[in-house]
Structure 1
Amino acid sequence: MSLRARVTWLAASCVAGAVALVSLGAYFTVRQNLYDQVDATLIQKANNAASSTISAEVQGQSVPAAFLTLTDIQFALIDSSGTPVVSVTNHLPPIGRDEINVAAGKDADNIRTDARTDTRVFSLAYRGGALVLAQSLQPTKAQLADLSLVLLLIGGAGVLVAAIAGTAVARTGLRPVQRLTRATERVARTGDLRPIIVEGDDELVRLSHSFNQMLSAVSYAQDRQRQLVADAGHELRTPLTSLRTNLELLLSAEAPDAPRLSDEDRVEIHDDLRAQLDELTQLIGDLVELAREDAPQLTRERVDMVEIVEQALARARRRAGDVKFEVDLQPWYLLGEPAPLERAVLNLLDNAVKFSPPGGTVRVDLRPAGHGYAFLQVADAGPGINDADLPYVFDRFYRSDEARTLPGSGLGLAIVKSAAQRHGGAVYAGRSADGGALMAVRLPGTQDTSLG
């Protein structure tokens, strides 16, 4: 069953239930009132007849003249044995044990329904006997039948109107859902990620806005993926071309009747091949690392940033040559993934070492900055970063003119940015006090050792 049909049935069912409850309540209230009215009429007429002081001669007996007005109902005056003494109607009222008990003086009065004749019977003690009045319930039941028919017709019309209204409301209210369905089918069929048109401000419209945001996020992710593939292809083309050129040169030199390469040229080509292979290996490793950074986080654990920085420093010192490190680390803990954080710190250190002059100093400090954040800063004494390059140094494959002659893939700082954002932080670039580059990473966390 479709959602529209379910909404229609729900509206119709709710209205049907409400109409049924109201109709039953109205029916039983009117029914009780009508039966009470019949009882009240019988009791009033009996009391009026019994209290009448004017006499009349009926069947050789002197009876109150008010008895003669009881011709619209069945009436009889019975003795203690239940035998009718006076009756002014063609049909006697039902006489039973209850009426005989009243005539015998056992009860002062009694009212009951006689199921056999479908009449309401009232008996009242009168002059050593009983005055018995009976009225048919057929007119009352006819009124109740008419009332039942009216309530049924009105209830049915209400349910029909509710079903029509429910269908209209469902068609109008589910129009955004239909647009979402068509958009989803369009995306699945064509891959077209254009947002759908949204109007209004209800819950379904907000759902449409969320769907458009999802489409935008998917489109952005696809654009980033295409850009990464394009940039990676561009970056891979240079080392691959150099590798192919050098290999072809070596193969050509080994061909018959080809001029032989000197030992110096052969050594130089071999060195170029090794450098190009190293560059290619680093580029592929950085691409893999960046793809891993973009993957969803699976688990988080308590991370001691001082320990992470010290581990990265130990690795950086082994390849830093005569570059020195000045370190000032204060305790800082956060929930995250140690491996990406260590790789990000190591990239910052390697970048500072690469641009530091011989015998230069790289300053590393980690300190809280308030509001639940700490800053990890890495500063070098190199040439620094041009103002025009500052907004782009953390972009993938971006390399300044000064850096193009140095080894690297252009992904190191992009990995730093990805790791920081992955942990709820941010990255900044500027100039250090020594005129070199200053790279800063802001990370959320606490100095409380009980974190996690």
Structure 2
Amino acid sequence: MSETMPSAVPPVPPAPPLVHPPRRTLRRRLAAWYRGRSLRSRLAALTALAVAVAIALCALTCWFIVEQRMYDLLRKDLGNGITHIPPGIAFNGDGCASTPQEALANAKKAQSAIGASQPFGGGKLQDIQLVSADGRTVCVPADATRAIVVDPADLTLQPGKTTVRSGTYTDGDSALIRVSWLFDRNARPSGIALTAAPTKPVEESLQQLALILGAVAAVGVVGAGLTGRLIARSALKPVDDLTDVVEHIARTEEVGTTIPVTGNDEIARLSTSFNSMSTALANSRDRQTRLIADAGHELRTPLTSLRTNVDLLIRSNDTGRPLPEATRTKLLGNMKAQMQELTLLIGDLLQLSRPDSPKPGQNLAVVALHEIAGRAVDRARLRGPGLVFELDIAPWYVHGDGAALERAVINLLDNAVKYSPPGGVVDVRLHEGLLTVRDHGPGIPQDELQYVFDRFWRSPSSRQLPGSGLGLSIVAQSVRDAGGEVSLGPARDGGPGAQATVRLPGRPVAP
């Protein structure tokens, strides 16, 4: 008889654990609330919090000092306690009768005998209570309306010792109790004395003090919050003005708008920096607009000439009347020259489009300025074959962009070649980082020296000469990028011509 095996039941995979979203703690909620507030509200809240902490610390310190002082006075007022059994008191029933009335009367005699002082804040005698050594007999003052609750630990006090403890009366009021041993005439321990002073006046005074301090703290925190709000509003007024100006610039794109600056604090420094930035942006936009306008003007002339020549060639082909070979060759030569001029102009524009300050490490290296000057002179000789170049070049190594510096030196030499008379002399000297290029041409009028490094500026007397007016601008930018200085003026020896001076930091030997 065959048995049917039960089919295997696949195991049920365990359910994935429930993932509860993390609860936002109180700290995160406070941080989120703080970030959502305005700067003025943050300053007011921080001011109120700081004042609250300061007031709370001062109030707690004051309360604890007063509490300690009041209880110290209360302990001092309790004295040293009773050490001997007063006359007329005997715990054998002679001095403390069995009836409560007699016991109170005997205790009153004992109290008068020891001369107890008045407690702190009260107008009645201290409460004194005598207890026999076995704790069975208790004597209390006759005028007492309540008794001191005896602690069993009081009976275990070592003879000759005195202690102070907190306790209560039979009616539930708290008290400060001094416990001391009593000795008879033969110096034998016969019982203990409880000297008590009620602490209720002290507690009430401390409660009143706590209420006063709490009220003062609450008023101080509220006042600090309002004062912080007013101070924040006054202190952040320049920031509001700055925000208004920034929003105005964002809406209207009118860069160059500034705000008045008063004082020399952090807000004044921020306003000054913003004014400088706004002015720099306005100047940059003006330079950009002027560059675009000047570039368009300079590009228009060669493009117009190119278009005229191309139209002439196309018209000659369309009409079937080809131009004479000499005329055609001249047109093509003019077109090539104009294309070269456009190429140079576009290269100059690309050179000037770089940022004024290169990024750290970008194309910067130690280069030999004397080698750059030598290569530039070789190229200048090809452009001015009839000129004489007198060289006096000493080794000098600088840290900069070699290609940009070579372009700058070539532009200086091109400028000297352009304005030198036929057969003239060009002096090139390099000593201790001072590079001078001097020609013997007509020179530069004194009233035009301030414009020589401006982009697209060309002297009225030289506008018929080739060039775009960007060469000296490229020189100035390249020298500034290398940390140097450049100037252009009349010859130093008083002779004819102009002299360009470039000073670059470096050293005479390679590092």
Structure 2 length normalisation: TM-score?
Answer: 0.79
* Closer, same or farther: CA 132–6 of 1 in aligned 2, 3 Å: same
For 1:84 and 1:36, the matched residues in 2 are separated by 31
Matched, 1:424 2:483: yes
Match for residue 331 of structure 2 among 237, 245, 269: 269
Q: Which amino acid aligns with 2:455?
A: R
Residue 85 of structure 1: how far off its partner (Å): 4.3
Out of 249, 259, 269, the residue aligned to residue 196 of structure 1 is: 259
Deviations 1:35-84 (A, max 9, x none): 1122122226x45x9698899x8738574634697864432112211233
* 2-structure distance, mates of 1:394, 1:323: 25
Mapping of residues 112-127 of structure 1, within 5 Å: 112-114=165-167, 117=172, 118-126=174-182, 127=184
Quote the offset at 1:259 in angstroms. 4.9
Q: CA deviation at 1:440?
A: 1.2
**Paired residue for 1:159?**
221
Q: Does 1:6 align with 2:42?
A: yes
Is the counterpart of residue 37 in structure 1 residue 93 in structure 2? no
Q: 1:107 to 1:50 in 2, by over 3 A?
A: closer
Contact persistence 2:86–2:110 (CA under 8 A) = no
Offset at residue 322 of structure 1 (A): 3.5
Looking at structure 2, the residues matched to 216 and 170 of structure 1 have their Cα atoms a distance apart, in angstroms, of: 29
1:95 partner amino acid = V
Per the alignment, residue 377 of structure 2 pairs with: 313
User: Is 2:300 the partner of 1:237?
Assistant: yes
1:86–1:293 distance in 2 versus 1, CA, 3 Å: closer
Counterpart amino acid of 1:65? S
Quote how far apart the aligned CAs of 1:168 are: 0.9
Q: Flag the 1:239–1:63 CA change in 2: closer, same or farther, 3 A.
A: closer
The question of 1:395 aligning with 2:457 is answered: no
- Listed as ranges, the matches of 1:237-256 within 5 Å are 237-256=300-319
**Pair 1:361 & 2:414 matched:** no
Deviation of residue 169 (structure 1)? Answer: 1.0
In the alignment, the residues of structure 2 paired with residue 253 and residue 295 of structure 1 have an alpha-carbon distance, to the nearest angstrom, of 51
Residue type of the partner of 2:151? G
Counterpart residue type for residue 283 of structure 2: Y
Equivalent in the alignment of 1:439: 500
The alpha-carbon deviation at position 157 of structure 1 amounts to 1.0
Cα distance in structure 1, aligned partners of 2:110 and 2:290 = 116
Partner residue of 2:26?
none
Counterpart in 2 of 1:371?
none
Residues 233-273 of structure 1, C-alpha deviations (whole Å, 9 max, x = no match): 111111111111112222222223x6542222222222221
Structure 2 distance, partners of 1:64, 1:406, is: 128
Change in 2 beyond 3 A, CA 1:53/1:444: farther
Where do 5+ consecutive residues of structure 2 fail to align? 1-36, 90-94, 97-101, 118-123, 185-189
CA distance in 2, matches of 1:54, 1:296: 109
2:346 maps to 1:290: no
1:95 aligns with 2:150: yes
What is the deviation of 1:423?
2.7
CA shift in 2, pair 1:317/1:292, >3 Å: farther
Segment of structure 1 superposing worse, 24-33 or 315-324? 315-324
1:408 pairs with one of 455, 467, 471? 467
Question: Pick from 59, 76, 90: which aligns with 2:129?
Answer: 76
CA contact (8 A) 1:53 1:64 kept: no
Decide whether the 8 Å contact of 1:74 with 1:91 is kept in 2. Answer: no
Are 2:55 and 1:22 aligned? no
How much does 1:158 deviate?
0.9
2:51–2:221 contact (8 Å) kept in structure 1: yes
Cα distance in structure 2, aligned partners of 1:343 and 1:223: 26
Q: How many residues align?
A: 440
Shift of 1:354: 2.3
Provide, for residues 384-424 of structure 1, a one-character-per-residue CA deviation record: whole Å limited to 9, x for no partner. Answer: 22333333222211222342222211111111111122233
Q: Which residue of 1 aligns with 2:238?
A: 176
**Alpha-carbon contact 1:119-1:137 (below 8 Å) kept:** yes
Q: Deviations over 1:347-406 (max 9, x none)?
A: 1112222222333332111123xxxxx321011223322333333222211222342222
Sort the Cα spacing of 1:51 and 1:333 in 2 relative to 1 into closer, same or farther, 3 A: farther
> TM-score, normalization: structure 1?
0.89
SS of equivalent residue, structure 2 residue 415: helix
1:189, CA displacement in angstroms?
Answer: 2.0
Amino acid at match of 1:195: T
Which range moves more in the overlay, 409-418 or 125-134? 125-134
User: Which of 370, 381, 386 matches 2:440?
Assistant: 381
Asked if structure 1 preserves the Cα contact closer than 8 Å seen for 2:126 and 2:195, the reply is yes
Which of 208-217 and 389-398 deviates more? 389-398
Distance 2:168 2:440 in 1: 114
Q: Counterpart in 1 of 2:211?
A: 149
Partner of 1:323: 387
Classify the secondary structure of the residue corresponding to 2:447. Answer: coil
Q: Is the 8 A contact 2:111 2:128 kept in 1?
A: no
Name the CA distance, whole Å, in 2 between partners of 1:425 and 1:143. 81
Structure 1 residues 248 and 73, CA, compared in 2 at 3 Å: closer, same or farther? Answer: same
Instruction: Say which SS state the counterpart of residue 366 (structure 2) adopts.
Output: strand
The alignment yields a C-alpha RMSD, in angstroms, of 2.8
Counterpart CA distance in 1 for 2:355 and 2:229 is 50
Compute the displacement of 1:321 (Å): 2.1
Aligned-pair distance for 1:226? 0.6
Q: 1:293 and 1:349 mapped to 2: Cα distance?
A: 25
Counterpart CA distance in 2 for 1:51 and 1:83 is 16
Work out whether residues 361 and 381 of structure 1, in 8 Å CA contact, stay in contact via their aligned partners in 2. yes
Question: CA, structure 1 residues 447+148, in 2 after alignment: closer, same or farther (shift >3 Å)?
Answer: farther
The aligned runs of 1:223-234 (5 Å cut-off) are 223-234=286-297
Give the AA of the match of 1:354.
K
Give 1:22's aligned amino acid. Answer: C
Cα drift, residue 345 of structure 1 = 0.6
- Identity, in percent, stands at 39
Q: CA deviation at 1:428?
A: 1.7
